[in-house]
Chain A
Amino acid sequence: MEGVFTQTLVSGILIGFVYALIAVGLTMIFGMMDIVNFAHGEYLMVAMYFAYWFFVLFGMDPLYSLPWVTVLLFLLGVITYYIFIRPIINAPMLSQIFVTFGILILLRGVAQYLWNADYRMIPQTLTSGNVSIFGIYVGVSQLVAAAGAVICNGLIFWFLKSTRMGMAMEAVAEDKEAARLMGINSDRMFALAWGIGIATVGVAGGLLSSFYYVFPEVGSNFCLVAFVVVALGGFGSVPGAFIAGIIVGLVEVLSGYLVAPSLKFMFVLLLYLGVVFIRPQGFMGRK
């Protein structure tokens, strides 16, 4: 039976990587513009639907359609910025919250209108089935999803830290006006932030679609977890979100297995409240 415990541990880490990937986009958008995107879960749902339709219409396995899904979500992110977000850049926090909340309901309504409410899933993919490593059985698609998450996080971290565009985005995050004085067009930076932020959740959606069902409200399952991960890791900190994602995944799975499955989400929330009361800006966030 000891295999069962390690197996739970492994699957906790794997799902933790996926949480991290979902949270990275959210923390990037917040880091740049102090806006919490309540509709983040719904973009995940849209990405999963795209991956599903690529499979059904063109027979493309989610791994092959991943680049397409990411590009589509990047465009969706940029469009969202120019239509909905730009008018409220300097609006009070409450208006920002309700625009993103409005987008949440809008995406859900459109999804229900176009693809109705049935549960859909990609039955057979390249990564179906499981593999056993040292006696632990692990779903291949979870492994691939975790690997994808790590790669994507790494890319984003590298992009922000060492490319010209990335550093410009960091600058705008630090101080909008100062960055503008340096000739950085903050408007384009924000569009880029939304594009990349939503693109990362697109990658997460593409990876998730190989082992998780999709229906118009699937976003809400992941949305709250993403918030907790971002707040735990510290708003605006990409590495923070990455570490916090793994921790949340572990806490959820282990508390579910060791204590009581129906209380697992409560432990995640208690962990979050505990950390935030001691360090309000989370692990690595700015004050």
Chain B
Amino acid sequence: MWKILRVFFVAVMVLSFTSLAYAQNEIRIGVIFPLTGPLATTGQGLLKGAELAADIINNKYNLNMPLAKTSGLPNLKGAKIKIIPGDHQGKPEVGMAEAERLITQEKVVAIIGCYNSAVTATAAQAAERYGIPFLNDSSSSPSLTERGFKWFFRTTPHDDMFSENFFIFLNDLKKKKKITVGSIALLYENTLFGADSRKYQEMYAKKYGYEIRGAVPYPAKSTQLTSEIQKLRSYNPSIIMQTSYTADAILSMKTYKEVNFAPTALIANNAGFNDPDLIKSLGRDADYILSREVWAKDLSKKKPMIKTVADMFERKAGKPMSGDYARSFTGMIVLADAINRAKSTEPAKIQKALLETNIKADQLIMPWDGVKFDPKTHQNVLGKGIIVQIQKGEYCTVWPFNVATKDVIWPFPKWESRK
């Protein structure tokens, strides 16, 4: 028996000290997401989004999108994008280690990642140390672009803007739809994502003159949320703003129904509420939830390209596209476009090209006004958020009204009034 183990042990040591050979004309881009652990399902989807973008770039598709019609990067003799995946398991130190591994061992020219804000923080630090461009596609914690990093770029808007959108939306409801909007209570997961969202929601509530009756943090991975929701109910708010990942989003909706508690509106800060698994698990109980989003399939009425990409994604990943997966897709497109314009994989040139990025709105599958990076913070200033509502099991854009495809259903119907 021990012969085998010793051989196995030697093999392990040898394997870990060899570095991998790789083909010549390919652009190696590192992609770091939570591929295992509690957020594995989101991580896998994000990876598929980036892979779809790489596929579109590497082959010819007639889509009005940078590099879609050509195969590979024309300015680099048609070199193909090669994605090197990395799994950070939701742990900051593993994110840093993966970033270093991809940079030093896999010799990637740039990195996209990491979804979890805390992991993006440490991974971006590693990239900064080695001077490798780091494009953040889906982390929404505002502090990431306030650390003055030279190599860090972010395409997605962050919580600061998203939180403000909530209250602009509420104001629009009051002005245009003559809907009275009452007091608000917050329910959020006691993690970096939740704590950050709460801070900004409270800040903007004060700024726009809305009353926050109370804020209830809950521990992640709870076995039950009854006590939290009952405490929320004791504030008897009219609107609930919730920040949860998928597991607790499902559990909380089930509990709302169970204790027969229906606020006049439930507004969610993306994440779990925009995960296709939510609708799959809750079925019709998920209806009427309002959630901030950066992408929605029904936007394709104004931009058909969105539907074709969404269908390609569904075929590739086996689940419908969501805001998160659209953002990792867009992140790859923006990065590839920059490398192509830089005409080289040399980090400084890519950085300069990223700073000059100016992608138009119609070339994106996102409802943004385009992609342009602020020279100091490297944050995409043209990013915009939208608000979607789940109606009959589908995400429909309801705000801003000029882009909306469906009318807002307000208030949130009582549980017993539903069929």
Contact = CB atoms under 8 A, between A and B. Distances in A.
A and B from one assembly? Answer: yes
Interface of A: 1, 4-5, 7-8, 11-12, 15, 19, 112, 116-121, 123-124, 129-130, 132, 137-139, 142, 211-213, 215-218, 220-222, 225, 252-257, 261-262, 264-265
B123 to A, nearest CB: 21
Contact of A112 (B36, B216, B217, B247): B36
Q: Which 5 A-B pairs have the closest CB atoms?
A: A256-B227, A117-B40, A121-B281, A123-B283, A139-B258
Given A119-B247, A213-B281, A8 B230 contact: yes
A121 B250 contact: yes
A99 to B, nearest CB: 16
B281 A261 contact: no
A137 B190 CA distance: 27
B246 interface: yes
A112 B217 CA distance: 29
Given A132-B260, A254-B227, A4 B40 contact: no
Given A213-B250, A262-B217, A116 B44 contact: yes
B223 A15 contact: yes
Interface of B: 36-38, 40-41, 44, 190, 216-219, 221-224, 226-228, 230-231, 233-234, 236, 246-247, 250-251, 254, 257-260, 275, 277-278, 280-283, 285, 319, 415
A4 B281 contact: no
A261 B194 CA distance: 14
Given A119-B250, A211-B254, A261-B227, 6 more contacts: A11-B258, A123-B281, A130-B258, A130-B415, A137-B258, A256-B227
A121 B282 contact: yes
A256 B259 contact: no
A137 B44 CA distance: 38
B285 to A, nearest CB: 8
B190 A262 contact: yes
10 contacts: A11-B224, A11-B226, A11-B259, A119-B277, A123-B282, A123-B285, A212-B251, A253-B226, A261-B216, A265-B219
* Most chain B beta-carbon contacts within 10 A, residue among A137, A218, A254, A255: A137
Contacts of B282: 121, 123
Given A130-B257, A256-B231, A261-B218, A15 B224 contact: yes
B38 to A, nearest CB: 6
A260 B219 CA distance: 10
A130 B227 CA distance: 17
Contacts of B234: 1, 4
Contact of B259 (A7, A222, A255): A7
Contacts of B254: 139, 211-212
Nearest to A129: B257
A173 to B, nearest CB: 29
Contacts of A252: 223-224, 227
A116 B278 CA distance: 16
A216 B282 CA distance: 19
A213 B247 contact: yes
A231 B250 CA distance: 31
Contacts of A112: 36, 40
Nearest to A108: B36
A111 to B, nearest CB: 11
A255 B219 CA distance: 13
Contacts of B236: 1
A137 B259 contact: yes
A221 B223 contact: yes
* Most chain A beta-carbon contacts within 10 A, residue among B221, B224, B254, B257: B224
B87 to A, nearest CB: 12
Given A8-B230, A212-B251, A221 B222 contact: yes
B42 to A, nearest CB: 9
Contacts of A257: 226-227, 230-231
B281 A221 contact: no
Nearest to B245: A119
A1 B247 CA distance: 28
A1 B230 CA distance: 10
A213 B251 contact: yes
A221 B231 contact: no
A142 B223 CA distance: 13
A48 to B, nearest CB: 13
Contacts of B40: 112, 116-117, 216
B277 A120 contact: yes
Nearest to B40: A117
Given A211-B254, A253-B224, A7 B230 contact: yes
Contacts of B190: 262
Contacts of B319: 118
A34 B236 CA distance: 50
Nearest to A15: B224
A119 B276 CA distance: 10
A221 to B, nearest CB: 5
A257 B233 CA distance: 11
Given A120-B281, A252-B227, A220 B247 contact: no
A129 B123 CA distance: 45
Contacts of B41: 116-119, 215
Contacts of A11: 224, 226, 258-259
A261 B221 contact: no
Contacts of A15: 223-224, 226
B246 A119 contact: yes
Nearest to B38: A217
Nearest to B278: A119
Contact of A117 (B36, B218, B224, B280): B36
